Structure 1
């Protein structure tokens, strides 16, 4: 192969030097040509090729080693793949890019035992001054032997003078110590907010677990990271994606300050990953300053060399199954009398979706429980009947615990289910306990969703969705 390439290059160089190559041929020359590969094109036939030519940011040819030869010029770099496999860069349909960044500079509790996490907190306390916040994410009590929520006392024993906030793997509850509860002003007299819950002991005392919106009195007090530390985390998140073959992704809900940090890295030329960013709404039923800004500014499409787009919004309809905050139509199988937490009233969700339609933005709503899913479907249908849009591409993020009727209706209405396959494995130890043997048949039901006629948006990164 090396001799063949040398002959091709020598021949083309000779023709150029002797004026036998036309301007059209020179315009065809690629910057880089890859040959002798096992290239998956992922076209409709899933055909394979052995060569490809690249010019600028575009593939200008994909095919055989012989037919790529006209793209090889005197300045073309030719790379022999030695029959290695090449696939297109993967696209992740749902992750949280700034969240990845912060997690990579915090305590990593993913797939760790409670004892391991407590040891990591203790080590962090030794590195911090009293009063400094200690943050982390990833704990999952369903993986622990006792399968129970942890308590503030366990953190108090090793971190009495530092506020500690550890976010659960699903992002819908936090484990905090007494110092954090004190700073947030949460006591036995604190009422549960709409869309959240303070977990309490038999005496009504907060145990140290705060669900969804109940976190806000504490998390709102956490001082922001410096701009440089956030940028460092974003670049680490980019490398995490690239190391897994992911070159583009949908960021499922960011606020204006994070979006501006991302844009500054693009402007510096340090961010290469392609991002489709959803703008996060405000708290409760409020539009929020980030959405107000973008509704006034309008969408941003294909910025920084077609690497950055903002034209959709993210709404949070409920919580998660693991935290028992996903909104269900019937009681939790393992917690009678509890149906989870809706984040919006019907009127609030309608107003937000109607507002997005008015401004021409794509809508995506987080809805895990069948109650939140039904609320979202009904709201989408109502708004689209009032103001039709044929190719709306509105989505339900997660679509996890559905009913047969909901599966049918989203297909008929053209609502796109964005379902994360990794949730089937992460939730396998508790999902049936939460919903029981009847409802589990329509939970995580990719085949039923596909057979009904829907297209599923999926993801690849288990830790960041």
Structure 2
């Protein structure tokens, strides 16, 4: 007894031009794919439910291979300033927010990006002190590898001229040594320690809000890293178990921060949709704040090569500990020196048999590093949307010499490396159509040029595979997920247009008609 899905176009992604008319599923599994009349005939008497796609196009279920689900929910609940493009507008928004907050309480906002502002000026304490002297302020950078605060925030945290930079972090200072309120990577923890405590209800609301938005955007699954940041990791894990339950199905693969690993892995439960997958390790920061770890100095600031979150020896040891749990690692690596560090650790402590490590972001991939990667069982977790966000300012940051090996997604595919696609939400918008558009056009929506580094453009087929088959490869499930074919999971994304028959700029208007997980419709437009 099963379901016939018909009335639209089926894009199984088993081949670039392949399309069908109908799919028959039963017990959460794809049984048959083909012409509608033939599928109906083969399963006559078995079809107990019929679902009309209403002219839409069905794809394998979209999976975001790297995001922070709770963080995405927080962004939807909090003040988001990621689209603000001037300091005057930022001041106006923050002043209004401060007027709504009781005196002495924190003003919290997400997503500033100085590359959008005049003279690329960072809104540090000197700027924020003009916003309010009555409230401490915490404003995270869009990359979440840096934040700014005002004088009141520095006072609350006890950060002053005598405060030492923590290991793996950096406090920006005036020439006289006074903190400017701009905190990078591990230095952010000094401020986070004095923030109001986050209660369980808030975390649950953020996850619920995120899940509903993921459904609306057509996602059937996600690989998410959240467990270390909200009080007790075990409590956060249990919230995942509570929220993703019953008919609220979502293929959730958890990246477990190495500092939360012992607690989580010793207390995890069997769950049909929530599974710990990899141990998460950070090796560097981000290009925006010049904390991504480079092998040569930044072109626009020769005084620095970035920040190493851990030493090579520490990354080696963390990798070794992951192997004790029988798990692969998932490593944040943006700069080429950070990537070198991660590869060295994997070479020293190989992945368990049958498992794949995953390297995340890979914005600079030198040829010699790619050669080493091809010898390893790894999946490269890329975020195509970073091209639209980081260009053109990143050209000045890295210099033209490094550019051919930077954001080089097509090169990675052409050299036979397995790649998965994600958004890194809340860093980037969750909408997968934006990721597909960036991968294929290499430009921002609304721009009309040939694209940044146009030789790195992907085909639509390649881009779609990042969010489907590639995401399945990242967790070793390409034999049951990521395609529409018999024996695979009945997870589908149905859009209101066939992307293969429309132009890239038109994709930005595409809308999910249905999101289906395990043969269950978890979202449907009215």
Query: When the two structures are superposed, what TM-score results if normalisation uses the length of structure 1?
Result: 0.85
Aligned position for 1:415: 378
- Secondary structure of 1:412's counterpart equals coil
Aligned position for 1:148: 121
Work out the CA distance in 1 between the residues paired with 2:93 and 2:237. 31
Cα RMSD (Å)? 2.1
Q: CA deviation at 1:395?
A: 1.6
Alignment of 1:50 with 2:21, yes or no, is yes
**C-alpha contact (below 8 Å) 1:33/1:72 kept by paired residues:** no
Aligned position for 1:160: 133
Q: CA deviation at 1:44?
A: 3.8
Aligned position for 1:38: 9
Aligned position for 1:14: none
Aligned position for 2:344: 378
Aligned position for 1:263: 241
Aligned position for 2:252: 275
Q: CA deviation at 1:154?
A: 2.1
Alignment of 1:450 with 2:413, yes or no, is yes
Deviation per residue, 1:10-52 (Å, 9 max, x gap): xxxxxxxxxxxxxxxxxxx32x322221111122465212122
Aligned position for 1:132: 105
Aligned position for 1:93: 65
Q: CA deviation at 1:439?
A: 1.1
Aligned position for 1:315: 281
Aligned position for 2:261: 291
- Secondary structure of 1:365's counterpart equals strand
| Map 1:7-406 → 2, pairs under 5 A | 29-30=1-2, 32-44=3-15, 46-70=17-41, 71=43, 76-113=48-85, 114-255=87-228, 256=233, 257-267=235-245, 269=246, 271-281=248-258, 288=259, 290-297=260-267, 303=271, 306-384=272-350, 389-406=352-369
Work out the CA distance in 1 between the residues paired with 2:264 and 2:56. 44
- Secondary structure of 2:256's counterpart equals strand
**C-alpha contact (below 8 Å) 2:70/2:226 kept by paired residues:** no
Deviation per residue, 1:136-188 (Å, 9 max, x gap): 21111111122121221322222222221111111100011111111111112
**C-alpha contact (below 8 Å) 1:235/1:271 kept by paired residues:** no
**C-alpha contact (below 8 Å) 2:237/2:264 kept by paired residues:** no
Deviation per residue, 1:199-258 (Å, 9 max, x gap): 112222211210101111101222233322222221221122122211111103532143
Q: CA deviation at 1:295?
A: 4.2
Work out the CA distance in 1 between the residues paired with 2:376 and 2:39. 45
- Secondary structure of 2:98's counterpart equals helix
Work out the CA distance in 1 between the residues paired with 2:33 and 2:88. 53
Work out the CA distance in 1 between the residues paired with 2:291 and 2:206. 29
- Secondary structure of 2:119's counterpart equals coil
Mean alpha-carbon deviation: is it higher for 165-174 or for 78-87?
A: 78-87
Work out the CA distance in 1 between the residues paired with 2:193 and 2:137. 13
Larger Rg: 1
Q: CA deviation at 1:461?
A: 6.3
- Secondary structure of 1:67's counterpart equals helix
**C-alpha contact (below 8 Å) 1:367/1:397 kept by paired residues:** yes
Unaligned runs of 5+ in 1: 1-28, 282-287
Cα distance change of structure 1 residues 41 and 75 upon mapping to structure 2, 3 Å threshold: closer
**C-alpha contact (below 8 Å) 2:280/2:331 kept by paired residues:** yes
Query: When the two structures are superposed, what TM-score results if normalisation uses the length of structure 2?
Result: 0.76
**C-alpha contact (below 8 Å) 1:98/1:258 kept by paired residues:** no
- Secondary structure of 2:374's counterpart equals helix
- Secondary structure of 1:136's counterpart equals strand
Cα distance change of structure 1 residues 270 and 177 upon mapping to structure 2, 3 Å threshold: farther
Mean alpha-carbon deviation: is it higher for 345-354 or for 153-162?
A: 153-162
Mean alpha-carbon deviation: is it higher for 451-460 or for 309-318?
A: 451-460
Work out the CA distance in 1 between the residues paired with 2:185 and 2:255. 20
Which structure shows the higher helix fraction? 1
